[in-house]
Every structure is written in structure tokens, then in C-alpha cells.
Structure 1
């Protein structure tokens, strides 16, 4: 999340607020958070253009549907950003912003209903761990799978495929259990595929197929999860089950 000044006047106003704050010795990022978390400066949070980046690329301009949710945007500003920081945005893609909205930056609006900010370690520690797996075993397996899911090409959450994967990555612990179990049997994750479900009709439903391959024999095992992503909030239709290719 990168707050951006939409105009010179907002930038100057922010500089004055920073001068009034106790920002001595702080980094720019720490000073930014200090100013924005002061409720007397909440008007500045509403003036900023909130740029959401995906893999370092500016992707959306976020606008909370409820003004009270500017608090969530402010909380997403980490004093010390790290590569493992994650922001999950739930909302609706809107039209392109006019050039004057973000000082010439033209991106689609993201109309925000929910924001979850955490890091990878916090996500993994929140997952229920199988009793037969040590914290180290399960943690490394879960982190490996999460990295694979979020790095699938250009995941901006704009397609059915991406929305299904994003939902599973943060809302379905069972796939992490399966990953840990596969590692103990010397299987490696070979692929993750998303395809329209045969149940799709009035509703948009995808089958997410995970395939693991044995490191010595090349024998493959596939499991799938069925996700409904018709509306803003995806949900599980079918839990993780063995998958058989249909001829």
C-alpha cells in the first residue's frame, strides 16, 4: 500500500502536519504513519490517493465504501515494510480514475469493503496445525505453498482464476495440510490449475486442481477444490477431494 499525494497543496499540508508531529529521528515511513494515526490528521488520510501494488506494480486506487474504513488503510502503512507483508483487499473493481485524482496516475478504482493486513508468518501461525506435524515441518510446507499461490502470474485479483486462488490462499487451511502431508511422502507440488467447473451455469464456479509428483517415481496425485466466485465474496462449494482427469 503506497499513499500518494494527489496535488502539491496536499503535499504541503502534509509537510506542515509532519512539522507539528514528534517525528524527530523517524524514517519517512515512520513519520508518515505517525502523522496519519493522529486522529487530528484524519482529514489528510481522506485526501491521499491510496495506491495498491501487486508484485511492485501499481494496480488499483483504493477507496473505502465506508469512510470509517480509512482506519484500515492507515493500519496497512507499516513503519518498516518487508517483502513478507500481505494486504488482502475485498471489494469491487470500479472505473478508471481521472488523471487529477492521483496526480496523473490513471488506474482503476478499487471500491473496498474489507482490508486484512498481516505478514506471512502471522498467516501461517494462525493456521490449525495437524497433530502429526511439527511446527517447523508444517510452517515450511505452508510457506512454500502460499508463495506458489500468490506468485502465479500477474495476480491482480481481476479474473475468476485469481479470485479463486486468493480465496483459497487465505481462507482454506486444508490445502496447507495436504502440502505438508505430500512432503512427508516425498511428493513435490507440480502444478496448480484453475478450470471452469462442470457445475458452472447461472453461477461462476471453478475447480482448482493441485497436482503433486513423487520425486523418485514421477507418479502424480491430484486433488481439487471447487470455489464459487460469482459475487464479491467467494465461498467453498466442495472441499479438497481426489481428482480424476476426464477423457
Structure 2
């Protein structure tokens, strides 16, 4: 799985809720919001054990999609760091891991979702992602950042992108790890072309490995001529990687 969503901590049972309330009462939480108080308790050495008893849900496009568990027990620290003390509406998390069976109802207060044993979690917000992209010298700052944000938003809004299929894993990987797709889209907008489609399809190079072609279509607003570019991604294993850099794509 290679998914992009929003991580939310949940209290799984009444017993954990009461235990958490006692730990909160012992902590210094004056002038803190509820979320800041939760993070303060989880960050405190004496109540750190509670991090192992919370339920961590990855929400994708407003839908509860996965329950996360670290493959290494020491990685509960990654979950605590990822949820942060002051979440914003634009906060996102990239989760890389292995999808397992549906969780039994006693794990997360009756919430029956696929369990994911994760290896990595990246926390970021849309503004910081866009700001870190290297700007081409021939484009002005505002145009490039606006184009990049629009492309990222388009990827995030693709229907049923839960990051578990080969197609969506490849696309999500490109959206957070390959800056050239943003540069190419900004150049297209600057030359009067629209981004008319984003498609992912099995590559002709598929054999013993699963390789996906992520194809971006740009249509000239005046002539209606469409140009396509693609990037090839290997998604055979847990961690995707780039096979071919962005280049023109020709239908056959």
C-alpha cells in the first residue's frame, strides 16, 4: 500500500478512554486544546504506553479507510509524531506498508477496516509540498506554485484512490516523489494547454515485475490537439521506484 490521507487517532474502548482521562489529569495541560493535550500525554514518558492502545485510522477523501499498526513496535513514535499537536485541514500523511485482513470489531470500537502494517509514514501539508518543489527558471513563482497545487489536488481527488492497487500506488508515488510531473504541467498551462486526463495502465514491459505507466494528457485550448507524457514506475515490491523518467507517450 502507498496511500495519501489524513491520520486520526481514535480511542478504541471505554477502558482506554478512562485510562487516558486519568493520564490527562496528571499532565500539565493548562491552556492546551484537546488535541494538544492528547499529544502532550502521548509524548510524556510516563504515559507513553497509551500510544500502543490507541487506534490510528487513515482517512482518505473523508472516508475511514485503514487501521494502522507499525510492523516494528518501536515505530509507535512515528504515529505520535505524525498526528502532531496542532493539526490543520491541509495536513496529509503518506503511509507505506502492507495491507492485511479486516480488523476484528474489538480493535477499534467496532470499526471494521483493513489493517495495514506500515513501515514508513511521511507527514506534510499541501503548502509545504508545493513550496519545496524546484521552480524552473523560465516560469514565474506564482504560476508554477498554482499549477503544482492544481495537479496535486487533481491526483488526490481521483475516485477510489485508496493507494492499494498497483495503479494508485504508482500515481501516489509520483505525486509525492517525482517533481518533474509538476514542472511539465506548469509548462503546459503556460503554453495554453489543459490537463485533460491522468491515467495509469500496465506497462508493455510487464513481465516478472509489475510496472505501471502513469500517463498525463494535455490538450491545446485553441487547436484541441492532445499531447501525452508518461513516467514508468515499478510497484512490484512494497517500495515503488522510478523506471523511466517523464517522456512523450504515443498510443499504439
TM-score bracket for the superposition, by shorter chain length: over 0.9
Count of residue pairs the alignment pairs up: 246
Give 1:78 deviation, angstroms: 3.5
Match for residue 221 of structure 1?
227
| Pair 1:190-2:193 in alignment | no
Give 1:79 deviation, angstroms: 3.4
| Pair 1:156-2:128 in alignment | no
Equivalent-residue separation in structure 2 for 1:126 and 1:205 (angstroms) = 28
3-state DSSP class of the match of 1:155?
coil
Match for residue 105 of structure 2?
99
Consecutive aligned runs of 4 or more in structure 1 exceeding 4 Å deviation? none
Match for residue 62 of structure 1?
68
Give 1:219 deviation, angstroms: 1.4
Match for residue 119 of structure 2?
113
Equivalent-residue separation in structure 1 for 2:117 and 2:124 (angstroms) = 20
Match for residue 137 of structure 2?
131
| Pair 1:43-2:49 in alignment | yes
Query: Please, which runs of 5 or more residues in structure 1 have no aligned partner?
Result: none
TM-score normalised by length of structure 1? 0.96
Equivalent-residue separation in structure 1 for 2:43 and 2:222 (angstroms) = 54
Equivalent-residue separation in structure 2 for 1:235 and 1:3 (angstroms) = 30
Equivalent-residue separation in structure 2 for 1:101 and 1:139 (angstroms) = 42
Give 1:234 deviation, angstroms: 0.6
Equivalent-residue separation in structure 2 for 1:68 and 1:180 (angstroms) = 41
Give 1:241 deviation, angstroms: 0.6
Match for residue 17 of structure 2?
11
Which digits, 9 at most, give the CA deviation of each residue in 1:122-165, with x for residues without a partner?
A: 11122222122222121111111011111111211111111011
| Pair 1:239-2:232 in alignment | no
**Correspondence list, 1:166-181, <5 A:** 166-181=172-187
Instruction: State the Cα RMSD in Å.
Output: 1.2
3-state DSSP class of the match of 1:101?
coil
Match for residue 28 of structure 2?
22
**Correspondence list, 1:204-219, <5 A:** 204-219=210-225
